[in-house]
Amino acid sequence: MKQIDNIKLKEQVREEFTAYLNHHKHRKTPERYAILDHIYSTKGHFDMDNLYNSMKQTHFRVSRATLYNTIELLLDCGLVVKHQFGANVSQYERAYGNENHDHLICLSCGEVKEYKNGNLFIPSQQKKLQRFKISYYSMYIYGICSKCLRAKNKEEKKTKSLENKISHTKKK
Amino acid sequence: MKQIDNIKLKEQVREEFTAYLNHHKHRKTPERYAILDHIYSTKGHFDMDNLYNSMKQTHFRVSRATLYNTIELLLDCGLVVKHQFGANVSQYERAYGNENHDHLICLSCGEVKEYKNGNLFIPSQQKKLQRFKISYYSMYIYGICSKCLRAKNKEEKKTKSLENKISHTKKK
DNA sequence: ATGTATGCAAACCATTTGCAATGAC
DNA sequence: GTCATTGCAAATGGTTTGCATACAT
C-alpha cells in the first residue's frame, strides 16, 4: 500500500520535473532523474555527503559536481528544500508530498526533530504579504531537547550538592 | 530620545553579558565588550566581514579569530542570533530588545526583508512542546519579492508578444 | 553536428585550529 | 604567576569552478 503510494509519488514528481526541464530548455539526462528518484526513495533530511555515498552504492554513481548542479534545479522548481541549521553542512529535504512541519533544533546536541504543527500559517497573514509571492517557508525552533535537559539537570544537582558539602565543611 | 534609549539598551546588554561571563567563569576582556558594543550600535543584519571591517575603522580593531570566539559566546547567552539564509555567509543579528520578526527571503535576488508578524507563536503551541525548552525561533519565508515579480511579468509579456509575432509570421 | 551536462581535479573562501605572546585574574 | 584569550597564519572542508569528454537534442 505504502509502496504503491511511493511509486505514484515518484511518477508525479518525475512529471513535474520533466515539465520544469522542458520549460527551461534543460536536458533530460539520466543522472538528473536518477538523483530525483533517489531523493524520493527515502524520507527525512540528507546532506550532499549522504546523497553521494548512498548513490555510490546503487548502480548509478554520479559525481559531486552533478549532484550540486542537479540539486540547484530541484530547489529552483521546488521539489527539494534546503535547510541550514547551525552546522556547517547544508541539509536538504524533499518537498513534494511532504507535510509542512517545523524543525526543533537542539542547541546542545544539534539534533533536529520534525514537529508537525497545525496550520501555523494562517491565511489572514498571507493577505498582509500580497506583494511577496510565497514559495515555501521554514520554521526553526531552537532550544534544548528533553535528553539534554535531563542531562543538564543531573549536572546541576551534582554541582549543588557539591557546593553544599563545601560550605558545610567551611562552617566547621 | 532614541539616543538615550540606545545607551540604556547597551548598558542592560553589557550587564547581561557580564553576568553570563561571570557565571561561566570567562574573562571580561575589553575586546569582548567592544564587540558587543559595536553590534548593538547598529540595527539589522551583519556578517563577519561587515563586522570586521566596520570595527577596523573604529579605534578598536580585533582579529577575525576573536570575532568568531566572541560571537560564539554571544550566541550562547542569547544576545545575538545567527541566520543562514541561502547564501554562503552566516548572517547575525542582535537579539535583545529586538522585536520578533520573520524574514522574507527573495529566491530571485536574495534580498532579505524583515516582517513584523503579530503573535505568531501562540501559547497553546508551546504546551505541545513541553519536552523542548525553547530559546528562540526563526521563521524564514522564501518567495519572490515585488520587485522581481514585476521584472518577471515584464519578461513574460515580452516573450509572449514575441511568440505571437512568430506564429503570426508562420501562418503567413 | 551543436552545445549542454558530466566528471575530475583544482580553486575558493568562510570558518576553524595551532601556537606563541599577551594580559585578566 | 597562572592560564584563558588574543592575533596571526596555516589548515580545513563544503561548495564552486574550469576544462576536456560524453551525450541529449
> What mean pLDDT do residues A30-48 have?
93
The answer to whether A10 CB sits below 7 Å from nucleic acid chain C is no
The protein footprint on chain C, as nucleotides within 7 A of a CB, is 4-9, 13-18, 23-25
Position A104 pLDDT exceeds 70: yes
Give the Cα separation of A100 and A82 in Å (integer).
Answer: 14
The total domain count for chain A is 1
d(CA B74, CA A107) in angstroms, rounded, equals: 13
Give the CA angle between residues A8, A97, A88 to the nearest 5°: 125
Q: Which of B7, B73, B72, B63 is nearest to B31 (CA)?
A: B63
Domain membership flag for residue B154: no
- CA of A26: nucleotide with nearest C1': C4
Sign of the C-alpha dihedral computed for residues B112, A109, A47 and B129 taken in this order: negative
Give the torsion through C-alpha atoms of B123, B124, B126, B127, to 10 deg: 130
Range of the domain at B81: 1-98
pLDDT bracket for residue B73 (50, 70, 90): very high
- Window from A64-78, B52-66, B148-162 with minimum mean pLDDT: B148-162
Residue A43 lies in a domain: yes
A163, part of any domain: no
Nearest to B85 by CA among A84, A87, A86, A102: A84
Closest of B95, B98, B92 to residue B112, by C-alpha = B92
Among the listed ranges B5-9, B43-47, B136-140, which one has the minimum average pLDDT value? Answer: B136-140
Q: How confident is the model at residue A172 (pLDDT cuts 50, 70, 90)?
A: very low
Would you list the DSSP string of B94-162? E-TT----EEEEETTT--EEEE--SS-S-HHHHHHTTTSEEEEEEEEEEEE-HHHHHHHHHHHHHHHHH
Q: Which carries the bigger pLDDT value, residue A132 or residue A25?
A: A25
Average confidence (pLDDT) over B106-128: 65
When CB atoms are compared, the residue of A133, A141, A142 closest to B143 is A133
| Residue scoring higher pLDDT (A131 or A158) | A131
Residue B133 burial by CB count (10 A; 0-12/13-18/19+): exposed, middle or buried? middle
Q: Which 50-79 residues of chain A touch chain B by CB within 8 A?
A: none
Say yes or no to pLDDT of A66 above 70. Answer: yes
Q: Is pLDDT at B115 greater than 60 in this prediction?
A: yes
Indicate the average pLDDT of chain A: 81
Reply yes or no on whether the pLDDT at B134 is more than 90: no
* The pLDDT of residue B1: 65
Asked if residue A149 has pLDDT above 60, the reply is yes
Residue B152 within any structural domain of the chain: no
Report which of residues A27 and A102 the model is more confident about. A27
Q: Is the pLDDT assigned to residue A3 strictly greater than 90?
A: no
B152 versus A156: which is more confidently predicted? Answer: B152
Q: Between helices A48-57 and A64-76, what is the axis angle to 10°?
A: 120
HSE-CB at A31 with a 13 A cutoff on CA atoms is 16
CB A135 within 8 A of CB A100: no
Spanning CA of B75 to C1' of C15, the rounded length in angstroms is 16
Q: Is B158 contained in some domain?
A: no
Percent residues over pLDDT 90 in chain A: 38
Residue A140 inside a domain? The answer is no
In this prediction, what percent of chain B has a pLDDT beyond 70?
78
pLDDT score for B172: 36
Nearest-angstrom CA–CA distance, B161 and A66: 36
Cβ B149–A137 below 8 Å, yes or no? no
Phi, psi of A11 (to 5 degrees): -65, -50
Q: If contacts are CB pairs under 8 Å, which of residues 103-142 in chain B contact chain A?
A: 104, 107, 115, 117-118, 120, 125, 129, 131-142
Shortest CA distance to B12 belongs to which of B98, B102, B137?
B98
Q: Integer distance in angstroms from the first to the last C-alpha of chain A?
A: 73
CA distance A77 to A17: 7
pLDDT of residue B126: 56
* Residue scoring higher pLDDT (A70 or B166): A70
**Set of cell numbers at residue A70:** 542537479
Section B8-23 average pLDDT: 94
On whether the CB atoms of residues B17 and B79 are closer than 8 A, the answer is: yes
Global pTM value: 0.76
User: Model confidence over B35-51: pLDDT tens digits?
Assistant: 999 999 988 899 999 99
Query: Is position A57 within any domain?
Result: yes
What is the CB neighbour count within 10 angstroms for residue A143? 18
**Domain harbouring B41, CATH code:** 1.10.10.10
Exposure letters B62-74 (e unless 16+ CB within 10 A, then b): beeebbebbbebb
Quote the DSSP letter at residue A142: E
